Each structure stands twice: as structure tokens, then as C-alpha cells.
Structure 1
Amino acid sequence: MASSSAGADAAPYHPTTIGGIREIAESFDGVLLDQFGVLHDGRTPYPRAIEAVARLHAAGKRVVIVSNSSRRSAGTVGKLVKMGFEAEWFTGAVTSGEMAHRCLAERANAWWRALGTRCIHITWSSRGAISLDGLGLQVVGSPAEADFILAHGTEAVGEPGDGGGGGGGARDASLEELRALLRECAAEAQRRGRPMPMVVANPDIVTVDGAGGLITMPGTLAQWYQELGGDAVLMGKPSPIIYEAAAAMAPNVHAGRWLAIGDSLQHDIAGAAAAGTGPGLFIVGGIHAEEAGLRGGPEAGNAGSGWNAGALARLCGEHRAAPKWAAAWMQW
């Protein structure tokens, strides 16, 4: 197991290493739990993750999935059940895709009401198309026709249509093609003299995949667009909006008594800290594994894994993220 060079009250960028959640179980009442890179790799659950969630439930902890998933919340727990988790272990789930859908449907403030309904839709193909059914949106084919950009994925661009489940379909697009499209959108916004906002339904930069690599996510598109001078509105972590929705599912858990568990320093750890939910447990074996010098795979568990403490401290500093604890894998 890795050894942190500092104790519980050490410098913020040197989290304390733990062998399992059981060691800190008295420190929290609820868990804001990430999925990808923590519970599973997108296809397969990590060896000790199922037991960890079962033990959290048995200990009376309220467990809420907080996921930067482009999809709506309803199917989240069902997919985990198919992997071997039990539905009753989870108090609920909230996804960034759900927050995007809710805001587009409700149009609760002046900004959303002024957004318009004509959008360029950047979506998925091999990972499954995202339906815009019920939102009253019109998918358009060129920046000149668009009020805003809606980013659910990084593989395809929606063809002109009504945006519903049938919609106009989608055509595959490479990342370079998407980057060129964003340049066109930024140029069109400049020509108009007003923003063409991007609504980002999944703010993750990358995520793990079952093949052992990383997949580019819509948060990368948001970064590119912002570099071009465009406006991007993040609908999930690290934005407070998703933490507020998650905390509302367990009102008996007081602010500061949540434990945020995740593998993204920028999203899971820094986001929860900014929202004031409580301390964070960073899972090193996710998207930052290579950068942190992780040694040992998920089968080895925390006892058989380690990482470069200096590299992790540098990563935490780069992302301005100060997790209180770190572990290689999700383990009780």
C-alpha cells in the first residue's frame, strides 16, 4: 500500500493514505459516489467495489451516485444492478445529463428562457444516441442557424430534425471535425456580436473505458470552445448545481457530513470542496493512474497497490484539489 508522507493535518496536497473506507467510516453520514473509475471501468465492476457499497449500506450510510454521465438519471442504478450491485444500497442517483435535461425543460430563469431552441447537437454514436425528446428543441445543421450548442458526446453530430427520439439521426464525426465545427461556431458568435453558448451535458475531460484506455469526453470540447472565446455552461461536476440536487435526496445528512469519492481531482474532489459538502476520498486507480505512477491493478487491492506520493501531490496542486484521503481502489 502507498505511504503518504503526511498525517491527517498535513499539507493539503498530501492526502492521507487509507487501506479502506472502514478506516474513516465515522467521519461521514452520506456518500457522494462517482461511478466510472471508482465502481467500474465502464463495463466491469472493480473487484472490491460491490462489497464496499454493500458495507456502506449496512453501516447506515446514505449513498447517492453523482455522475458526469450524459444520460438521464433513471437508468443509472439499473445499470449498476446488472453489474452486481443492489438497488436498495443507493438512496438515489443524479447525472449531469439529468441536470441538462431539467434545465432545458424547465427554463427556470431568464438566461435559460433566452437560450433559444435551435441547437447544434454533439452526441454519441457507438456509445448510444441521446434522445432530446420532450425538450422542444430543433437540431440544426450549421452554426448560422443555431442558438446554442448542446454537447452530450464526442463521436457524432446530430442531423437536422426535431431532436426527439427519432430526430434526424446523427453522422459520425472525428475529434478534429468537431474542433473545426467549434471554430465555425465561435466565428459565427463573433460575427453576430453575441455569445453562442455551449451547454455541456457531461463536463468530464476524459473517462476510463473497459479496454484500459481513456475516452475523450465533452468537457474537452468545452475547453476547446472556451479557448476560442466561447461560453460553456457545465451541467455536472464540478458545478454546485449537481451537488445541490444530490444533497436534496438525503436531507437528513448535514452539510459537511458527506464524503465525496471519485477519481477526478478537478471534478469529484475540487467540485465537492467548492460545494461545501465535506471531505474527499480520491481513488488513484482511475483517470489519473498513470500520472500518479500507480503500481498494482484492481485485483491487487489497496494492500497490493501503491503510487508516487510526490507525483500525486503535484497533480493535486495542479488541479487545486485537496482530498483528505487517498486509496488506490474503492474498498471497504
Structure 2
Amino acid sequence: MEKLKSLGFDTSCFLTTITSGELTHQHLQKRNDPWFAALGRKCIHITWGDRGAISLEGLGLQVVNNVDDAEFILAHGTLAAKYESLGGEVKWMGKPDKVIYTSAMSLAGVDAHECIMVGDSLHHDIKGANAPGIASAFITGGIHSDELGLVETAGEDAINSLCSKHGSYPSYVLPSFTW
């Protein structure tokens, strides 16, 4: 909620939040998913310090430093993507995987048709919303503004081309989102 507050949102309008780190922690704790149940207890935990780190408290994990001693590696998305590109197996817990969206809907007690994802990343936000059938609003003035040649508003052809390139299709397109 602190991140939302720092962006100027009234946090009383939100039921709750969930991050990929919190979701990973829950799955490591419960281990009711077969993939998590099969994991061992020795892991290498790679983080960016406070950003991206999840608490390992209460998980019964032993953090090791030698890859030969590790039964799995717990890492953030950027590193996981590189590991996967080299042939490693990755369990995705954050955007664009639909698990983060379905978990958020479950927490809020709503269905996909009652939600909208507002985001500026076609790969993470919009593609992620497409999988579980959530409506989405693509903010063109965000991270893709340079690709769109954005001055004030992006043209329809540029938006369609960029969406096609990313395989992400928003329900709505907005130049900005302010609260």
C-alpha cells in the first residue's frame, strides 16, 4: 500500500494488495501446489536487496551459497527470465503470469468480468490481463512512450503496431492515468 500511497492514491479505496514475492512466500509455505511440494528445502536466494526480496521467515528453508548444495534457486523475474532462456525451469509468480491476477481476484472475491487492469507495460500488465480475461487499459504515456513516438497522444496505427509486436491487446487506451 505504501507504493500506492507514494503515487498519490487514496489507499482506503483498496481492499488489499499482493506482490509476486508475497504470493511466492504463500506457495512456499503451503506447498499445496505439486510444483512447490516437489521443491527441496535448500535454496539460493538472489535478490536486489530490499527491492524484490521476500521474507523467508517461517518457510523452513536453508539458504546456501553453493549451487551444488541448492535444491532450487529463488530469484526475481529478470534473472529468472535469463535462467529460463538458458534452459532452466522457472515457476512464474508475477506479471504476466495469470497466477498473480487470479490470486488478486480471489483475495478481492471478484471475477474477471468485474476487474480492469490499468498499466503501462504491454508485456507485463496488458498481456497478463489478457490470459485470465480481464479488461485492460493501456497507458501510452508510460514505458512505451518513446516506442510510440509520443508527443501528446499516440496514433492508432502506432498503438496497433506496438500491441501486435508484444502480442498484447488492451480493451482501452489512455494517454495517462492520474488520481
TM-score (norm 2): 0.88
Using a 3 Å threshold, how does the CA distance of structure 1 residues 99 and 307 change in structure 2: closer, same or farther?
same
SS at match of 1:115: coil
Equivalent residue for 1:320, pick from 167, 174, 177 = 167
Any residues of structure 2 matched to 1:292-311 within 5 Å, and which?
292-295=148-151, 305-311=152-158
Q: Is structure 2 residue 108 aligned with structure 1 residue 250? A: yes
Higher Rg:
1
Distance in 2 (CA, whole Å) between partners of 1:127 and 1:257 is 31
Q: Deviations over 1:217-274 (max 9, x none)?
A: x3332221122111111101222211122112333x4432321111111221121111
Any residues of structure 2 matched to 1:136-175 within 5 Å, and which?
136-151=60-75
SS at match of 1:249: helix
Q: Which structure's residues are more often strand, by fraction? A: 1
Q: Is structure 2 residue 127 aligned with structure 1 residue 280? A: no
Please, which moves more after superposition, 142-151 or 305-314? Answer: 305-314
8 Å CA contact 1:237–1:267 kept in 2: the answer is yes
Gaps of 5+ in 1: 1-76, 152-217, 296-304
Aligned to 1:93: 17
Aligned to 2:58: 134
Equivalent residue for 2:26, pick from 102, 108, 125 = 102
SS at match of 1:145: coil
Q: Which structure's residues are more often helix, by fraction? A: 2
8 Å CA contact 2:41–2:61 kept in 1: the answer is yes
Distance in 2 (CA, whole Å) between partners of 1:255 and 1:85 is 23
Any residues of structure 2 matched to 1:183-332 within 5 Å, and which?
218-251=76-109, 253-277=110-134, 279-295=135-151, 305-331=152-178
8 Å CA contact 1:115–1:147 kept in 2: the answer is yes
Distance in 2 (CA, whole Å) between partners of 1:250 and 1:128 is 23
State the shift of 1:308 in Å: 4.5
SS at match of 2:17: strand
**Alignment coverage as a number of residue pairs:** 179
SS at match of 2:138: strand
Using a 3 Å threshold, how does the CA distance of structure 1 residues 315 and 128 change in structure 2: closer, same or farther?
closer
Query: Which gives a bigger RCO, structure 1 or 2 (Cα 8 Å, sep 6+)?
Result: 1
State the shift of 1:144 in Å: 0.8
State the shift of 1:129 in Å: 5.2
TM-score (norm 1): 0.50
Q: Deviations over 1:105-126 (max 9, x none)?
A: 1111332121111111111137
Please, which moves more after superposition, 100-109 or 307-316? Answer: 307-316
State the shift of 1:275 in Å: 0.6
Distance in 2 (CA, whole Å) between partners of 1:309 and 1:285 is 14
Aligned to 1:301: none
Distance in 2 (CA, whole Å) between partners of 1:293 and 1:224 is 29
State the shift of 1:80 in Å: 2.8
8 Å CA contact 1:120–1:143 kept in 2: the answer is yes
Gaps of 5+ in 2: none
Distance in 2 (CA, whole Å) between partners of 1:246 and 1:123 is 23
State the shift of 1:82 in Å: 5.0
Using a 3 Å threshold, how does the CA distance of structure 1 residues 83 and 109 change in structure 2: closer, same or farther?
closer
